[in-house]
């Protein structure tokens, strides 16, 4: 019985060809689009250069961001298209995605040429922008050629609005350019149509040729079948031999040229093949490597067990494996290699040997280690950074919770380090920080962590403590170690630190609160006088909040000009006349009223606001000095205190001289009060600075003398004009013999150095008579007057002139 098969369905060859041509058009459209993206980014860069001065406009800046992101997104779509190589049924969706991107890009070009182009842009720049955009859209004819109307979208959306905007500009040149752009918008789509038609015709022709080739190939196959039938087995055998030869050649070429080491082993894991890449990795030639086992020449002694386990796994599982081994080269160098091993089997499934691909990953592993180290360590000191420190603290807490032990966190801040850094320079500051880091590591155990928090702050983690008090021992050791001077550029720098300590679980049970509490305790150590240790207590939270409150108010006070000066008269003991005024800063707090310096100066010093505040005080005092001179009052010197940070600044001299010139004050009536301690921190720089100030006539008073540590030999080098005796000595004279003797010695020494002597804090007539008997030159204190406002000080000076008699000395209530 004969079976009749149903006839094959007749397919519409025309429709099939049309679909094939459409598919090819979409694929060509994506391939050509790379040129568009590169041109778009280039033009965007050129426009950025042209419109650089207008980029601050948010809309224009947003346009540049938008066109860049859109181009990058379309490029990403292009890469996905190439990687995915979508099937024919999906190409309609890809076509729509491309057209959407084309429309959005054209719309953005229209925006930059019409709405977003700044009116303030120079004509040349405007025309440059239009020309660049027009040229870009003109060039789109080429890379949009594969699609029938993609360029029409670009021309209509991109060029037509541009032509309209130029036509309505009112400028002759732009209107002429509008006509040209509009002409392009009409002509270019026509040209695109012609180009597209030519491309379609070319594709159609190619399709016809392919069909003809297919038909010819079909006929050729029939003829070949006939020839094969005639040739018989001999021809088939020859073809098989040729195929085997070609395959062998490919395998050999890959074996010799691959950058991976290719090694073949027999069933006893001895080398039977060794390619040039393996020779480059290990240094052994193929002749040297043949018939040798891996353990015998390329594997480190410590890795022999790993190699045996690797071979055992491949042999038992009969599957591929990957292993990283420490290997040695012929020259004895240690390297790290990744081994990809697989068994070789015959057609019957029997293992006849093994193959290994070997890659040297030493450099990659070293790079990964370096990156990991840099991500977790401070670049300057090499100590763990904040990230690594927090991780170790967290691990210490977990361990302590399990073992019922304690963990201590020490937060360290170097005292007055910013002054040293500003004075000696950042290189010296970095040297000191590295030295401190080394010293800290000598004070702790191996299990402890010393980390740099940033700037001049360090954190020490002490895990696994039996008692919280053990942290005090380490903290004391750190204080003692850091007290040793550091020699930098010929200077001996004394560095101290303030340490705050918190404990797990007493103070907190998590990382953030332990660090916060240790930081709070450190600030308490600062307020206690520095170079000391403070443990966290519950009261510190309140104290810290008060400090933060002062900081915020202090910044606002500088902005709102809430500061003012009071002036305390300095009286000549011999004549009873006012010979000078000391300028004293006060803060007029809107809530608290008048605030004294002791309540805010130390905060300003820590925040770095003291320099700005000090300059304001100096300028205000100089203006007052000029006002008294304009009123015709007799010359009276004004004493102005200089803060440590101001004095150590390298721009102190230039700043003060500029203020004196701006205010018109007489520099010979300006007296700078510098504390003895400040001077002795860096005697050479102090002498240089004070000499420059003295050269323009300014006076220099050594303030709080007697509480520092200067010697007579050092003091006589200073270009000082006055010396002020600290109130702590005056308070106990004449009753206390020791204070009286010290005061007499200070006066006698000042006289010998030809310095004017001023006593501070004189409150009783007995103190005044004692100073008079010892030939002190002047005094200030409540015995004569408390600090007064500028109006009161002016009135006192005018009254002195009017009476031509010094006002009576009177006691003033505190």
Residue 218 domain-assigned?
Answer: no
Please report the pLDDT score of residue 812 as a whole number.
Answer: 44
Look at residue 102 in the predicted model and tell me its pLDDT: 81
Among the ranges given (45-49, 563-567, 608-612, 706-710), the one the predictor scored with the smallest mean pLDDT:
706-710
Q: What is the DSSP string of 405-441?
A: -EEEEEEEEETTHHHHHHHH-HHHHHHHHHHHHHHHH
Higher pLDDT, 720 or 195: 720
Return the structure tokens found at 679.
Answer: 């001077």
Nearest 10 degrees: Cα torsion 142, 144, 146, 150: -150
Cβ neighbours for 89, distance < 8 A, ≥ 6 positions apart? none
Identify which has the larger pLDDT, 336 or 715.
336
Residue ending a domain, among 320, 335, 366, is 366
For the segment 345-361, what is each residue's pLDDT rounded down to a tens digit? 887 778 888 888 888 88
Please give the Cα distance from 603 to 581 (Å, whole number). 26
Quick check: is 162 in a domain?
yes
Q: Is residue 226's pLDDT more than 70?
A: no
Model pLDDT for residues 236-295, shown as the tens digit of each residue: 666 655 666 665 555 566 656 677 888 888 888 888 888 888 888 888 888 888 888 877
Between 295 and 749, where is the model more confident? 749
pLDDT at residue 747 is higher than 80: yes
pLDDT tens figures, 139-162: 777 777 788 877 777 777 777 777
Q: How confident is the model at residue 3 (pLDDT cuts 50, 70, 90)?
A: very low
Q: Where are the beta strands (DSSP E) in 69-209?
A: none
DSSP string covering 316-378: HH-S-EEEEEEEE-TTS-EEEEEEEEEEEE-TTS-EEEEEEEEEE-HHHHHHHHHHHHHHHB-
> Which of the residue ranges 66-75, 576-585, 680-689 would you say has the lowest mean pLDDT?
680-689
> Are 389 and 347 within one domain?
no
Task: Give the Cβ contact number of residue 708 at 10 Å.
Answer: 16
Give the mean pLDDT of 719-742.
86
User: What's the CA gap between 78 and 94, in Å, rounded?
Assistant: 10
Query: Are 585 and 703 in a shared domain?
Result: yes
Tokens of 108: 């953005």
Any domain includes 1: no
Note whether 382 and 354 are same-domain residues.
no
Look at residue 808 and tell me if it is in a domain: no
Mean pLDDT for 701-724 is 70
End-to-end CA distance of the chain: 136
Least confident of 9-18, 29-38, 659-668, 732-741: 9-18
Same domain, 65 and 164: yes
Residues 349 and 292 both lie in one domain: yes
Residue 754: exposure state from Cβ atoms within 10 A (0-12, 13-18, ≥19): exposed
Measured between alpha carbons, how far is 185 from 194 in angstroms, rounded to an integer?
15
pLDDT category, 15, cuts 50, 70, 90? low
**Structural domain contains residue 213:** no
Mean pLDDT of 507-517: 89
226 found inside a domain = no
Tell which of 537, 571, 605 closes a domain. 537
Give 375-398 as a DSSP string. HHB-TTT--B-HHHHHHHHHHHHH
- Do 263 and 157 share a structural domain? no
Residue ranges making up the domain that contains 92? 13-206
Q: Is 4 part of any domain?
A: no
- Residue 192: what pLDDT? 76
Segment 1-26 mean pLDDT:
59
pLDDT in tens, 181-209: 777 777 778 777 777 777 777 777 777 77
Last residue of a domain, one of 206, 232, 264: 206
* Structure confidence at residue 539 as a pLDDT band (50, 70, 90): low
Same-domain pairing of 587 and 679: yes
Q: Are residues 771 and 654 in the same domain?
A: yes
Question: What CATH number is attached to the domain comprising 282?
Answer: 3.30.450.20
**At CA 240, angle to CA 236 and CA 241, rounded to 5?**
120
- Whether the pLDDT of residue 489 is over 60: the answer is yes
In the block, residue with structure tokens 């008048």: 594
Per-residue pLDDT, averaged over 660-676, amounts to 91
Asked, for residue 717, whether it belongs to a domain, the answer is: yes
Tell me the H-state helices in 168-320. 172-231, 233-257, 276-282, 286-289, 294-297, 304-317
CA distance 782 to 526: 32
Is 26 within 8 Å of 91 (Cβ atoms)? yes
521: pLDDT strictly greater than 70:
yes
Q: CATH no. for residue 626?
A: 3.20.20.450
Whether the predicted model's global pTM rises above the 0.75 cut: no
Q: What is the pLDDT of residue 501?
A: 92
pLDDT at 700: 92
Average per-residue pLDDT in the chain? Answer: 81
Residue 714, CA distances (Å) to 146, 686, 760 in order: 90, 11, 23
Query: In CATH, what number is assigned to the domain containing residue 480?
Result: 3.30.70.270
Q: Which residue has the higher pLDDT, 67 or 760?
A: 760
- In a shared domain, residues 308 and 384: no
What single DSSP character describes residue 8?
A: P
Q: Is residue 179 located within the same domain as residue 291? A: no
Within this chain, do residues 485 and 619 fall inside the same structural domain, yes or no? no
Does 120 have pLDDT greater than 50?
A: no
Q: Give the Cα separation of 680 and 657 in Å (integer).
A: 24
**529 and 669 in one domain?**
no
For Cα atoms 742, 744, 749, give the angle at the middle one, nearest 5 degrees: 95
Token output for 134: 């027009």
Distance CA 554, CA 768 (A): 38
Q: How many domains does the chain have?
A: 4
């Amino acid at each position: 019985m004969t079976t009749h098969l149903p006839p094959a369905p007749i397919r519409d060859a025309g429709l099939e060809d049309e679909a094939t041509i459409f598919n090819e058009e979409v694929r060509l459209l994506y391939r050509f689009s790379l040129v568009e993206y590169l041109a778009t980014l280039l033009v965007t860069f050129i426009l950025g250069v042209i419109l650089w001065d207008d980029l601050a406009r948010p809309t224009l800046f947003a346009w540049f961001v938008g066109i860049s992101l859109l181009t990058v997104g379309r490029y990403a779509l292009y890469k996905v298209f190439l990687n995915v190589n979508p099937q024919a049924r999906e190409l309609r969706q890809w076509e729509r995605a491309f057209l959407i991107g084309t429309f959005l890009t054209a719309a953005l070009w229209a925006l930059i040429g019409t709405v977003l182009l700044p009116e303030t842009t120079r004509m040349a720049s405007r025309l440059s922008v239009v020309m660049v955009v027009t040229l870009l859209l003109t060039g789109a004819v080429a890379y949009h050629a594969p699609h029938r109307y993609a360029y029409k979208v670009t021309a209509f959306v991109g060029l037509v609005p541009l032509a309209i905007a130029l036509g309505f500009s009112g400028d002759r040149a732009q209107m002429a350019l509008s006509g040209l752009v509009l002409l392009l918008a009409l002509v270019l789509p026509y040209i695109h149509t012609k180009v597209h038609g030519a491309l379609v015709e070319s594709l159609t022709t190619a399709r016809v040729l392919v069909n003809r080739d297919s038909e010819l190939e079909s006929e050729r196959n029939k003829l070949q079948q006939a020839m094969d039938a005639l040739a018989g087995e001999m021809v088939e055998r020859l073809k098989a031999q040729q195929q085997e030869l070609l395959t062998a050649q490919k395998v050999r070429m890959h074996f010799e040229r691959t950058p991976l080491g290719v090694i073949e082993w027999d069933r006893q894991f001895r080398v039977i093949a060794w390619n040039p890449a393996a020779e480059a990795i290990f240094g052994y030639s193929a002749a040297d490597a043949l018939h040798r086992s891996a353990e015998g020449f390329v594997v480190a002694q410590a890795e022999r067990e790993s190699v045996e386990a690797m071979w055992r796994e491949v042999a038992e599982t009969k599957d591929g494996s990957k292993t990283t081994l420490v290997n040695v080269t012929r020259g004895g160098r240690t390297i790290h290699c990744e081994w990809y091993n697989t068994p070789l089997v015959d057609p019957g499934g029997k293992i006849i040997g093994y193959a290994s691909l070997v890659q040297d990953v030493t450099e990659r592993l070293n790079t990964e280690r370096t990156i990991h180290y840099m991500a977790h360590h401070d670049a300057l000191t090499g100590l763990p950074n904040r990230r690594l420190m927090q991780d170790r603290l967290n691990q210490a807490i977990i361990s302590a919770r399990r073992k019922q032990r304690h963990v201590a966190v020490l937060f360290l801040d170097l005292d007055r380090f910013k002054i040293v850094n500003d004075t000696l320079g950042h290189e010296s500051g970095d040297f000191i920080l590295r030295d401190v880091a080394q010293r800290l590591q000598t004070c702790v155990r191996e299990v402890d962590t010393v980390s740099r928090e940033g700037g001049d702050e360090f954190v020490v983690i002490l895990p696994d403590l039996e008692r919280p008090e053990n942290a005090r021992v380490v903290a004391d050791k750190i204080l003692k170690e850091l007290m040793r001077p550091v020699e930098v550029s010929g200077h001996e720098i004394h560095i101290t630190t303030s340490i705050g300590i918190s404990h797990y679980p007493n103070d907190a049970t998590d990382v953030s609160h332990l660090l916060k509490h240790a930081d709070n305790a450190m600030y308490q150590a600062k307020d206690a006088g520095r170079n000391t240790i403070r443990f966290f207590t519950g009261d510190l939270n309140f104290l810290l909040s008060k400090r933060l409150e002062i900081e915020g108010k202090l910044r606002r006070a500088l902005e709102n000009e809430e500061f003012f000066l009071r002036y305390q008269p300095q009286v000549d003991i011999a004549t009873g006349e006012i010979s000078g005024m000391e300028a004293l800063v006060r803060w007029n707090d809107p809530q608290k009223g008048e605030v004294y310096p002791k309540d805010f100066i130390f905060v300003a010093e820590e925040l770095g606001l003291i320099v700005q505040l000090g300059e304001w005080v100096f300028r205000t005092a100089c203006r007052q000095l000029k006002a008294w001179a304009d009123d015709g009052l007799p010359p009276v010197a004004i004493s102005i205190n200089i803060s440590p940070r101001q004095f150590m600044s390298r721009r102190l001299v230039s700043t003060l001289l500029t203020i004196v010139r701006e205010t018109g004050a007489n520099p010979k009536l300006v007296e700078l009060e510098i504390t003895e301690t400040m001077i002795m921190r860096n005697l050479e720089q102090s002498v240089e600075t004070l000499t420059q100030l003295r050269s323009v006539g300014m006076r220099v008073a050594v303030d709080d003398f007697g509480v520092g540590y200067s010697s007579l030999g050092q003091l006589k080098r200073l270009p000082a004009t006055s010396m002020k005796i600290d109130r702590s000595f005056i308070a106990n004279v004449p009753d206390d013999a020791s204070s009286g003797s010290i005061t007499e010695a200070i006066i006698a020494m000042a006289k010998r150095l030809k310095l004017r002597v001023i006593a501070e804090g004189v409150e009783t007539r007995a103190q005044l008579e004692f100073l008079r008997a010892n030939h002190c030159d002047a005094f200030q204190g409540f015995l004569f007057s408390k600090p007064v406002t500028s109006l009161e000080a002016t009135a006192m000076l005018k009254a002195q002139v009017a009476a031509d008699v010094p006002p009576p000395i009177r006691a003033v209530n505190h």
